[in-house]
Amino acid sequence: MPDTTEQRPYHHGNLRTELLDAAERSLRVHGVDRLSLRDLARDIGVSHAAPRRHFADRRALLDALAESGFVRLGAELRAAVDELDEKDDLAARLHAFAAAYVRFATENAALTGLMNSSKHRPGATAVAEAAAAAFGQISDLIEEGQARGELAEGDPEDIGLVLYATVLGITSMRNSGMIEPGRLEGLVDTAVTQFLRGARPAEPR
């Protein structure tokens, strides 16, 4: 009996997008170790060779998935801040930013893990650039706060990294089951409040 897999169409529709969607579904259910181009091709009904028109190998697929994740994250972070009224203060903007990150990272735990492990991999330039674009927004908020005199002077990237490290730790603890879901919102609020308290300009003596 002939191999029906080989008789499947070489490609159909927007194959790249379909592969990334299927890869994310597989990642969510099975984890990164079980993700393969051949299995994804079978799942969406194309020949096993078809995915290689878009991804040279499994690593290329994973990098593309991480990159698309950072693009989505960046859009969600931007939307969360942009939804606020123009007169809302820095605290409201940072709370919205942090809450949006935590929401994304906890709803997409496996994808976030892949994103974080991929962005510093040698050769993953596109992933690193997408990550920088997403998280560069927090530096913009820090610079805005410094310009208004609400935050102490210093490297905006370094200052923003302190807040990011805090919310990253909270999401990591939630995703590993160390924090109950009901505590998440309160912890994020506390993290941002404590950050702002520590980052305020020193009172003149």
- Which residue ranges in the chain fall short of pLDDT 70? 1-13, 86-87, 204-205
Residue 69: per-residue pLDDT:
97
pTM for the full predicted model: 0.86
How buried is 9 (Cβ within 10 angstroms: 0-12 exposed, 13-18 middle, 19+ buried)?
exposed
Residue 203: per-residue pLDDT:
75
Residue 87: per-residue pLDDT:
67
Which tokens hold the place of 46? 């194309």
Within a 13 Å sphere around the CA of 178, how many CA atoms are in the beta-carbon half? 7
Residue 179: per-residue pLDDT:
93
Residue 190: per-residue pLDDT:
96
Q: Phi/psi class of residue 46: alpha, beta or left (left: φ > 0; alpha: ψ in -120 to 50)?
A: beta
Residue 205: per-residue pLDDT:
65
Q: H helices of 108-155, where?
A: 109-118, 125-147
- Cα torsion 152, 194, 98, 120: sign: positive
How far is Cα of residue 146 from the mean position of the Cα atoms in its chain?
Answer: 26
Residue 3: per-residue pLDDT:
44
